[in-house]
Structure 1
């Protein structure tokens, strides 16, 4: 089968299309013919060499939708032909965290396509209980845009930040896949949404999506503007995914008793934190990543009911995987970049 693969770490130029052996469905697994697979920033990090715990040569791709074409022992044959989306979270199922339904906190937690070979290929084999049937009205491309970004945003807002109806939430870097998911989920939860992006086009698109107040970071000191637009109170929740470049502004934007929830560091992981502001304003700094099985399933119910619709920037053929890496690395996209074999 064809796959987008790299044999060494480096820039987008290391990605190339090659013929590789097709996987086989083992016991408890299904073989999925990939119809669409979306990129995430973690695909860039793995290609660059972070984390070091992965396969090499490596096939990336965590966000996958397709059709079951074969099943392994222990899986009902009737599943052949199902249109499915894959939950890429891999957990042990035996530890205390897994027993408590906190799979994303399992110390053995891994991500399919990051720590293993993934879906930038024509076929993948995955545990059967990680493949969820799709409704007919959801396209493969939309489904592939879901798993990593939308479950991460769901857990960040619903579980970790405990967002409540009527609260104010500020989403940083709101043109990226996970941040856009956060905008949609915050609106679904009845929050007033503030968003930071760049470019007049992105500002207008976020307003069309329902963001109440949108700042162009190229022309506006957004952390000061937030205080003005909230009557000098600040917001209840900041969704932070950029890191070093926006961290101080994100903290300034918080109201007393506010919560900053972070799941990314695309602009650098090292930040400064004045503890006096933490205890004086009684704020919370909360880390999060991915989601539990039940959180993923709660998200899917909202999507399948039509209450959330994934946002896609562009769809490209698998043969253009190298260019897709370049596009994501350059920034400026609005939503997910999806590859189709």
Structure 2
């Protein structure tokens, strides 16, 4: 079968190679899955660069989430062949392959309301958004939610989940095309950071109050602007650092302005509260069935285009989700 392999760390376009590799075999409690769609995430680029918190042995196959069809079940796996599932394969044998083995205990049913590419994009980004907004920030209907990188894969999920929760959503984007995408996603106010000052625009849009909740997958300057327009008892959810710069919060500022800085590492819920992850999936499937959320899939690229697509996601030039369709 074909699979993308990384033999040395570097930029995705330079180090990902499409190779012929042996078909994997499921062991006890495992499933052999035919990959129908594999969503590209920013961590895929970090894995290629060797900058992710987990550094798999070389060579490895990137790709951390997929939608696929069960081909064969190992002993005790308990999932019938032909079942359409969402899964998170673990590196070194990730999703950018024609077939992959995954633990049966971790698969989730793919929502019938979504096609393969949309289902592949529903898991990590939307779970992160749901836990960030509801478990960590306790977002309430009627509050103002500020989402950075609102037209990106992570941000677009937060926009839709914020609207589904009854919040007023302000989306920050970079450039006219991404601003238009944010409007189409449902943002009540769109701030183009290339021509507007974020803090001033948010204050103007909220009558000087500021944002009750900030969803920040960017870090750097985005965080610096956020603390200038956070509301009384506001909550800033730290999701990641796509800018490459990790902020150094001024705790004295958090004290005098009375706001909270909340970290979110969604992957820990798989270890500490897996039941909550499954409950969240059920809620996301319900919202998808109602049409309240639907992943913004801007591109569906063939297997041969995966390395270039991962590079473009890493460079921040894409909108929504880019999905590899083997």
Q: Does 1:288 align with 2:273?
A: no
Q: Does 1:255 align with 2:256?
A: no
Secondary structure at the aligned position of 1:163 is classed as: coil
Q: Does the 8 Å contact 1:315/1:339 carry over to 2?
A: yes
Q: Does the 8 Å contact 1:160/1:286 carry over to 2?
A: yes
Q: Does 1:203 align with 2:179?
A: yes
Equivalent residue, structure 1, for 2:4: 4
- Deviation per CA, 1:266-286, whole angstroms, max 9, x where unpaired? 112432322222111111000
Say which is worse superposed, 307-316 or 202-211, in terms of deviation: 202-211
Q: Does the 8 Å contact 2:38/2:120 carry over to 1?
A: yes
Of the three residues 297, 302, 313, the one matched with 1:328 is: 313
Equivalent residue, structure 1, for 2:217: 241
TM-score, structure 2 normalization? 0.92
Q: Does the 8 Å contact 1:34/1:67 carry over to 2?
A: yes
Shift of the alpha carbon at 1:222? 1.3
Shift of the alpha carbon at 1:17? 0.3
Q: Give the Cα–Cα distance (whole angstroms) in 1 for the partners of residues 77 and 16 of structure 2.
A: 34
Q: Give the Cα–Cα distance (whole angstroms) in 2 for the partners of residues 209 and 75 of structure 1.
A: 39
Secondary structure at the aligned position of 2:128 is classed as: helix
State the 4+ residue runs in structure 1 displaced beyond 6 angstroms.
none
Equivalent residue, structure 1, for 2:48: 47
Secondary structure at the aligned position of 2:241 is classed as: coil
Equivalent residue, structure 2, for 1:69: 71
- Deviation per CA, 1:64-106, whole angstroms, max 9, x where unpaired? 00100100111336x11111111x2xxxxxxxxxxxxxxxxxx
Q: Give the Cα–Cα distance (whole angstroms) in 2 for the partners of residues 18 and 318 of structure 1.
A: 11
Segments of structure 2 that go 5 or more residues without pairing to the other structure are: 270-275
Secondary structure at the aligned position of 2:317 is classed as: coil
Superposed, 1:1-341 pairs within 5 Å as 1-11=1-11, 12-51=13-52, 53-76=55-78, 79-86=80-87, 88=88, 112-113=89-90, 115-290=91-266, 291=269, 292-293=276-277, 294-341=279-326
Q: How many residues align?
A: 315
Secondary structure at the aligned position of 1:326 is classed as: helix
Q: Give the Cα–Cα distance (whole angstroms) in 2 for the partners of residues 55 and 167 of structure 1.
A: 45
Q: Give the Cα–Cα distance (whole angstroms) in 2 for the partners of residues 271 and 138 of structure 1.
A: 37
Q: Does the 8 Å contact 2:111/2:285 carry over to 1?
A: no
RMSD of aligned residue pairs (Cα, Å): 1.6
Shift of the alpha carbon at 1:135? 4.0
Equivalent residue, structure 1, for 2:273: none
Q: Does the 8 Å contact 1:4/1:319 carry over to 2?
A: no
Q: Give the Cα–Cα distance (whole angstroms) in 2 for the partners of residues 24 and 304 of structure 1.
A: 34
- Deviation per CA, 1:187-213, whole angstroms, max 9, x where unpaired? 000000001002222222222221100
Segments of structure 1 that go 5 or more residues without pairing to the other structure are: 89-111
The verdict on how the C-alpha distance between 1:260 and 1:136 changes in structure 2, with shifts beyond 3 A counting, is closer
Q: Does the 8 Å contact 1:59/1:119 carry over to 2?
A: yes
Q: Give the Cα–Cα distance (whole angstroms) in 1 for the partners of residues 131 and 258 of structure 2.
A: 22
Q: Give the Cα–Cα distance (whole angstroms) in 1 for the partners of residues 145 and 185 of structure 2.
A: 15
Equivalent residue, structure 1, for 2:272: none
